[in-house]
Amino acid sequence: MAKRAHPKKTKRAKPAREQAPSAAATAGVTAVDNSDRSGTGTGTGTHAKGGWFALEISWAKLVVFRVVFFGLMAVDAFLQLPHASRYGAGGFNVPHFTWLPLPEPGRASITFVHGALAILFALVAQGALARVALPLAAALYGWAYFSSQLDSYQHHYLMWLLLVILCFAPRAPDPLPRGAAPDAPRSVASWAIRLALVQCSIVYLWAAIAKMTPLWLDGTALYIQVRDGWARELIESIGFARVSWLVLAAELFLAAALWFRKLWLPGFVAGVGLHVGIETIGLEIGLFSYLMIAVYLLLLPDVLFARSAAWLAPRVRGKLPPVLHHAAWPAAVAALVAALLLVPLPLGAPLAFVAVIAAGQAA
């Protein structure tokens, strides 16, 4: 008897929910995830693999910080030029560390170094030749500070530490995840940025510990330091002892806030307020407060920078005409000569910026 044929079994189609997501859906999910991780959403701002130490922030925010911070460093270096004549006077010099085998500074060498630093920092601010310019600037800056106690600004030591740390900061954003939209917010993960914030946190902690003395807590030290004017009158109305305790509390809070992203926004308010207050009472500490305010830009929400970058990008795209690139270096040399020889140094800073911007465009 012939066997009865059985119909062949056909595979069932997979339910719709098991089908692979479309490219558009993948791009949308990836873009949202990328926005969340970069701080433009509600994410923690860190890589899952890197953990807390691999701080992830908006690339636009890092660019703004770079321009402001290194722009101020360029101004600070330029403002040191009038003090070059003090170096090497009478062949007398006292370094910060006698055990460091550093060449002794002189008027010519210090003038050259600070002039070079102004140019190097301005190049880094523009992202030009940063791979070479920043390590070189860190080395020259360290020699200028450690080689002589004529540079008595203690914050220059902190700035040198930050320069060394920032040598390892990324110079380009991280690649976009697969399937992300081309105009998705770019982010960057960096242990160097995290370490820079930790370094500043240590400074605030030690500053607070150093103030835990009767001379500060009773207001005497603050009373001596504040110059006459409206700021002194305001502090007197509050009480020097109370303001001294408020400063101590602010520094302790900042020592903790710089470690935790959830405290960044109140940390920004407290930190900027503290350093604006330092400027108003007349402490002669150079550009320290301005530089620290630049650091506090890193604490602002990433979404502010990402949205600003998205708005500006289509409006500033384009290349300079070739003739401007060819004229960049002659313009830089002419502006430097004018700034150094023809214009008083405080007023020559704008011309110096013209020089270094032209040099950056040429690079």
**Per residue in 47-60, pLDDT tens?**
445 566 778 888 88
Q: Which residue shows structure tokens 């502010």?
A: 304
Cβ atoms of 151 and 9 within 8 Å: the answer is: no
Q: What is the predicted pLDDT for the residue at 212?
A: 92
Q: What is the predicted pLDDT for the residue at 154?
A: 79
Q: What is the predicted pLDDT for the residue at 203?
A: 92
Cβ atoms of 150 and 87 within 8 Å: the answer is: yes
Q: Confirm whether pTM is higher than 0.75.
A: no
Q: What is the predicted pLDDT for the residue at 186?
A: 78
Q: What is the predicted pLDDT for the residue at 2?
A: 46
Tell me which residues of the chain have a pLDDT lower than 70: 1-52, 88-90, 181-183, 309-363
